[in-house]
Amino acid sequence: MGSFPDIRTNIGDYVDQFVSFLATNLEGLFDLIYFISSRTINFIDNMLVAMPWWSFIIVIFLLGWYFKSIFSGVLFAIFIFLIGSFGLWEDMMTTIAIIVVAVIICLLIGIPIGIWMAFNKGFSNIMRPILDAMQTMPSFIYLIPAIFFFGLGNVSAIFATLIYALPPVIRLTELAIRGVDKEVIESAQSFGSSRGQMLRKVQLPQAMPTIMAGVNQTTMMALAMVVIASMVGAKGLGEQVLVAINRIDIALGFEAGISIVFLAIIIDRVTNGVAAKFQRGIS
């Protein structure tokens, strides 16, 4: 009596047909994306692994010292040393390589889209519900098209991470450009600045601290996908967490989990430090 009528809209079937259409007609494009992404990840991973362990720790110390404080530099160096002492050094490097590639792609796509949204209200109205869907859709759903297009491996992890981590940098870039003081813009216009000059020399420098906050959020969300991405064959610390779950290995789970926490702290503090540098430079 109170049951829902027997109506089937089959929206999911249409989505499935659309994805199949893309996979069939854009196979060459997906193969190119796979080739470039996998080669880039392997290059960064091999470069990081080839570095002497002590030199990488020194680099982390210097980043912490420059962007935060000498105490932070020492603390970050200890964190990295502890991850190595857990026997997870190479897994950490793979995780960093995946995050670096994913974040770079997010910035290359997200910042231009955010700028376009700031200048085009109609485009912004179209993108906002799409971004809402990208942020609220369960992240496991992104793994399905990732496997469909790229199979198992690190490239699928990047694809899923891209969808999950892209919205913050887009939203905050739009917010930052729209939030630039109108008096500053009017002053630049009075001096005859073109739209491109105003964007490069006025709006982007003024908006950079907020954009960097978006970079920070995107990076942290990319790191949050590490464990989920391991379910599509991504290597790194997330894989170790998955292995620990399958084996009910508390020791391995704690070490891999706390290693991800250490990386999250370092990335968060360094990116916040970069944003603070931009803020001080502007003020």
The yes-or-no verdict on residue 76 having pLDDT over 90 is yes
Record the pTM: 0.84
Overall residue count recorded for the chain in this entry: 283
Contacts of 16 (CB under 8 A, 6+ apart): none
Structural domains of the chain sorted by starting position, each given as residue range(s) with its CATH number in brackets: 27-282 (1.10.3720.10)
The yes-or-no verdict on residue 283 having pLDDT over 60 is no
Are 210 and 175 in contact, with CB atoms under 8 Å apart? Answer: yes
Percent of the chain with pLDDT over 90: 21
pLDDT digits (tens, 9 = 90+) for 186-225: 777 776 667 777 777 777 778 888 888 888 888 888 888 8
pLDDT digits (tens, 9 = 90+) for 234-278: 888 888 888 888 888 899 899 999 999 999 899 888 888 887 776
pLDDT digits (tens, 9 = 90+) for 135-171: 888 877 778 878 877 877 888 888 888 888 899 999 9
Percent of the chain with pLDDT over 70: 95
The yes-or-no verdict on residue 1 having pLDDT over 60 is no
**pLDDT value, residue 185:** 73
- Dihedral (C-alpha) 19, 22, 28, 29: value to the nearest 10 degrees? -90
Q: Give the tokens for residue 49.
A: 């692994």
Would you say the C-alpha torsion 100, 57, 260, 238 has a positive or negative sign?
A: positive
Alpha carbon distance 56, 44 (integer Å): 13
**pLDDT value, residue 201:** 76
Residue 56 binned pLDDT confidence (cut-offs 50, 70, 90): very high
Alpha carbon distance 192, 45 (integer Å): 47
